[in-house]
Amino acid sequence: MRLFVGLGNPGAKYAHNRHNVGFMALDRIAADHGFAPWRRKFQGQVSEGRLGREKVILLKPETFMNLSGQSVGEAMRFYKLTPEDVMVFHDELDLAPRKIRVKFGGGHAGHNGLRSLHQHIGEAYGRVRIGIGHPGHKGRVSGYVLHDFARADADWLDDLMRGIEDGAPHLAEGDSAKFLNAIGLRMGPPPAAKKARKPKAEAEEPKVEAPDERTSMQKLMDKFK
């Protein structure tokens, strides 16, 4: 059994925030793979289903981001799971938009949701780090993550979510490489910057050699000079 956790804040006002991309990912997995309706449990919303050969519990904590670990710890104790059975989907400031990485263990890098998880279950859980980019200044981080995705992000975000849907069974079975490959197939290469066209080289005029006006005798004498 695996526990997939999406991090975010409850309520309609936060639904499309960058900070809620973990909730978005779980919603798409649940809808695409025919999971059971969401129900309240473990201080959050829970849905159950199967991904490939694995039974998976989806959990969206409703304790608000800073207390996410309370909900996750409660679910783990109920199902008798270890941190290695947990995969957390969350927003990542240190990755550019469109980028996604899978990581196991390590620090929380100041992310309040991960900080709470560290406190309640330790650091050995897996993470799906979904890049949202950085606003460029530490003082603007809070407003940035609690703001909706820009309209210009809609296309790549939808492709990313479709890729997560496609790859979720691989992730549940422990194959993060195939999971990321499925996302890559949906995303395609990033938009290439238009390269400035180099001016075509001007065609060189053909060289025309002057006709040889020497007589036969002069040509013969020149050979022996």
Tell me, what CATH number does 178's domain have? 3.40.50.1470
The reply to whether 55 falls in a domain is: yes
**In this predicted model, what pLDDT tens digit does every residue of 91-132 receive, in sequence order?**
999 999 999 999 999 999 889 999 999 999 999 999 999 999
The reply to whether 156 falls in a domain is: yes
Please state, in angstroms and as integers, the Cα–Cα distance from residue 75 to each residue in 38, 41, 47, 53, 134, following that order: 15, 8, 12, 21, 32
pTM over the 0.85 mark: no
Question: Which of 79-88, 102-111, 166-175 shows the lowest mean pLDDT across its residues?
Answer: 102-111
The reply to whether 193 falls in a domain is: no
DSSP letter assigned to residue 147: S
The reply to whether 132 falls in a domain is: yes
**In this predicted model, what pLDDT tens digit does every residue of 149-164 receive, in sequence order?**
999 999 999 999 999 9
Arithmetic mean of pLDDT, 196-225: 55
The reply to whether 128 falls in a domain is: yes
pLDDT at site 213:
63
pLDDT at site 198:
47
Which residue shows structure tokens 């993470």?
127
Q: What is the dihedral of CA 118, 121, 127, 131, to 10 degrees?
A: -30
- Is 120 one of the catalytic residues? no
The reply to whether 204 falls in a domain is: no
Q: How far apart are CA 217 and CA 225, in angstroms?
A: 13
Pick the catalytic residue: 16, 19, 111, 118?
19
Q: What angle do CA 145, 147, 153 make, to 5 degrees?
A: 90
Name the residue range of residue 14's domain. Answer: 2-186
Q: How many CB atoms lie within 10 A of CB 190?
A: 11
Q: Length of the chain, please?
A: 225
